[in-house]
């Protein structure tokens, strides 16, 4: 499979106020101001609907994008063994990097024991619904739920793993058809082209969605919600930054590029995630940008959607750090063995946590209930600030999945290094992404 044709150059003369990331950044700032000064307005259902509506618009096209990208990518591969090889490499990468994220959170939680002496009374009723969801989520159920009851149902619900499973099977089926499946492969590529056109239209509403989501968050929880727990937030932000700069930065350096240039390259997607608190809101654009960066289409199609369930670095950091914080706040001393249990349990409970806001909080409940049930009521301590921490969870998750796709492409020998260097020197403006080259 040859690489896709070089995309059109970025418009150098584009006015600053027409650049998407500038619009989103301005919208986030305005939303925070409105939420702070006029909380009654910011918490209006219609304001909240601006953010929720944008996320729903994006989620509307995630399933067809994943299906078309994965099925077409596999169908274009001549060797079926390659698909399995890419999948194994991706899973090995996910487990190694996820382990680093878990250990880093545990180390920082022990070094900076910010939870000691925190005078907060937990309200177990505030997190009852989350705990109920966590208790219902068993490992065996997770694996069984990967298999959809019906294909149509999986597409209708937008279940990433279920759609991914069917897309892989469908791609292998197309591969087996050989030349007879050429017309159908071309049709799937055309559908993907059209869906990305839909995304280009939807993305014009990104500033509105970011404004609504940020205004509602600040208006509902307010700056006061950050008061006595500001230490945990700062520690989590710092730990996530260390992970991105050191761990992901080292991986990027091995491949041959700078993590900072990569972050600049995906700045539009990061700002959208910041405004919506959902890493899924930028998934389609991230996949498009990774292909433009020189990554192999099959690798992007397999690694990125899978990574949204198996490579949640930000969620892993959050779970170990929050577990230690809650234990310290409640005066519960965790033994070395229990802390090792956190690593093992968190490695399992984090799988399947999507990029939707609140998923990390649900997996935290599942982790606490296994490590020490006495810690579960303490979830209410971090409940009021979870929304602010979910921002960084999502930002770390999407950055980690982007690096994963680049690394696996490099590992597979299908990374266009010349294109990668060229793109990182002149990042693509997302508002210019409205077409996909049909050349493969």
Question: How far is it, in rounded angstroms, from Cα 217 to Cα 325?
Answer: 23
Q: Using 50, 70 and 90 to split pLDDT, how confident is the model at 262?
A: very high
Mean predicted confidence (pLDDT) in 370-375: 70
Query: Per the structure, how many domains does the chain have?
Result: 1
Token pair in block for residue 124: 């177990």
Given this model, what pLDDT does residue 3 score?
38
Within a domain: residue 8?
no
**Is the pLDDT score of 268 beyond 90?**
no
Alpha helix stretches (DSSP H) within 243-355: 249-255, 259-265, 267-276, 283-293, 297-310, 313-330, 336-349
Token pair in block for residue 207: 């500033």
Token pair in block for residue 54: 């944008």
**Is the pLDDT score of 202 beyond 50?**
yes
Please say whether the beta carbons of 39 and 223 come within 8 A.
Answer: no
Task: Give the dihedral of Cα atoms 350, 354, 360, 363; nearest 10 deg.
Answer: -40
Within a domain: residue 257?
yes
Question: How far is it, in rounded angstroms, from Cα 317 to Cα 105?
Answer: 5
Please say whether the beta carbons of 268 and 22 come within 8 A.
Answer: no
Work out the mean pLDDT of the chain and round it to a whole number: 76
Within a domain: residue 179?
yes
Q: Specify the range with the lowest mean pLDDT, choosing from 81-85, 255-259, 298-302.
A: 81-85
Question: How far is it, in rounded angstroms, from Cα 422 to Cα 389?
Answer: 34
93-130: per-residue pLDDT in tens? 988 998 899 999 889 988 887 766 554 455 555 445 55
Neighbours of 197 (CB within 10 A): 14
Q: Specify the range with the lowest mean pLDDT, choosing from 187-191, 224-228, 321-325, 395-399.
A: 224-228
Given this model, what pLDDT does residue 437 score?
41
Q: What is the CATH number of the domain that holds 373?
A: 1.10.3860.10
**Is the pLDDT score of 22 beyond 80?**
no
Please say whether the beta carbons of 114 and 325 come within 8 A.
Answer: yes
Best CA proximity match to 341, nearest among 366, 360, 358 = 366
Q: What angle do CA 196, 198, 203 make, to 5 degrees?
A: 95
Mean predicted confidence (pLDDT) in 206-221: 79
Within a domain: residue 79?
yes
Token pair in block for residue 257: 């590029």
Angle, helices 297-310/386-411, rounded to nearest 10 degrees:
150
Q: Using 50, 70 and 90 to split pLDDT, how confident is the model at 275?
A: confident
**Is the pLDDT score of 429 beyond 60?**
no
230 versus 436: which is more confidently predicted?
230
Given this model, what pLDDT does residue 352 score?
47
91 versus 377: which is more confidently predicted?
91
Please say whether the beta carbons of 193 and 435 come within 8 A.
Answer: yes
Q: Which residue has the tokens 């009851």?
A: 149
319 versus 249: which is more confidently predicted?
249
Given this model, what pLDDT does residue 356 score?
44
Within a domain: residue 193?
yes
Best CA proximity match to 299, nearest among 73, 66, 63 = 73
Given this model, what pLDDT does residue 12 score?
46
Mean predicted confidence (pLDDT) in 125-150: 62
Q: What angle do CA 404, 406, 409 make, to 5 degrees?
A: 105
Within a domain: residue 43?
yes
pTM exceeding 0.85? no
Q: What percent of the chain shows pLDDT beyond 90?
A: 11
**Is the pLDDT score of 307 beyond 70?**
yes
Within a domain: residue 2?
no
Q: Using 50, 70 and 90 to split pLDDT, how confident is the model at 246?
A: very high
The whole domain housing 325 covers: 16-432
Given this model, what pLDDT does residue 10 score?
42
Within a domain: residue 62?
yes
Question: How far is it, in rounded angstroms, from Cα 127 to Cα 139?
Answer: 21
């Amino acid at each position: 499979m040859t690489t896709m044709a070089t995309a059109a150059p970025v418009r150098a003369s584009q006015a600053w106020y027409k650049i998407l990331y500038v619009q989103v950044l301005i919208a986030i700032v305005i939303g925070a101001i409105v939420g702070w000064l006029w909380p009654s307005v910011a918490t209006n259902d219609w304001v909240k609907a601006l953010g929720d509506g944008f996320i729903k618009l994006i989620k509307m096209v995630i399933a067809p994008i994943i299906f078309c990208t994965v099925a077409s990518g596999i169908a274009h591969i001549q060797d079926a063994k390659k698909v399995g090889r890419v999948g194994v490499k991706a899973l090995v990468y996910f487990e190694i990097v996820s382990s680093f994220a878990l250990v880093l959170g545990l180390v920082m939680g022990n070094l900076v024991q910010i939870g000691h002496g925190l005078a907060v009374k937990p309200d177990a009723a505030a997190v009852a619904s989350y705990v109920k969801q966590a208790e219902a989520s068993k490992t065996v159920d997770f694996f069984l739920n990967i298999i959809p009851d019906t294909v149509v149902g999986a597409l209708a619900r937008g279940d990433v793993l279920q759609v991914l499973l069917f897309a892989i099977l469908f791609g292998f089926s197309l591969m087996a058809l050989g030349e007879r499946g050429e017309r159908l492969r071309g049709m799937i590529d055309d559908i993907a082209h059209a869906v990305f056109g839909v995304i280009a239209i939807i993305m014009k509403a990104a500033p509105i969605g970011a404004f609504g989501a940020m205004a509602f968050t600040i208006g509902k929880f307010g700056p006061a919600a950050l008061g006595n727990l500001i230490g945990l937030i700062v520690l989590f932000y710092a730990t996530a930054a260390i992970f991105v700069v050191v761990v992901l930065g080292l991986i990027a350096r091995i491949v041959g590029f700078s993590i900072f240039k990569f972050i600049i390259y995906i700045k539009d997607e990061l700002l959208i995630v910041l405004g919506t608190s959902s890493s899924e809101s930028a998934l389609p654009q991230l996949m498009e940008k990774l292909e433009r960066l020189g990554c192999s289409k099959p690798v992007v199609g397999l690694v990125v959607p899978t990574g949204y369930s198996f490579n949640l670095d930000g969620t892993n950091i959050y779970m170990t750090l929050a577990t230690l914080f809650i234990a310290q706040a409640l005066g519960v001393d965790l033994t070395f063995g229990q802390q090792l249990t956190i690593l093992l349990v968190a490695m399992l409970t984090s799988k399947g946590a999507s990029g939707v806001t609140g998923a990390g909080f649900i997996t935290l409940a599942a982790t606490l209930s296994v490590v020490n049930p006495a810690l579960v009521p303490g979830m209410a301590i971090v409940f009021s600030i979870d929304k602010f921490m979910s921002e960084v969870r999502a930002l770390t998750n999407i950055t980690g999945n982007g690096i994963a796709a680049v690394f696996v492409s490099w590992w597979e020998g299908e990374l266009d290094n010349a294109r990668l260097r060229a793109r990182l020197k002149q990042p693509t403006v997302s508002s210019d992404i409205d077409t996909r080259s049909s050349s493969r």
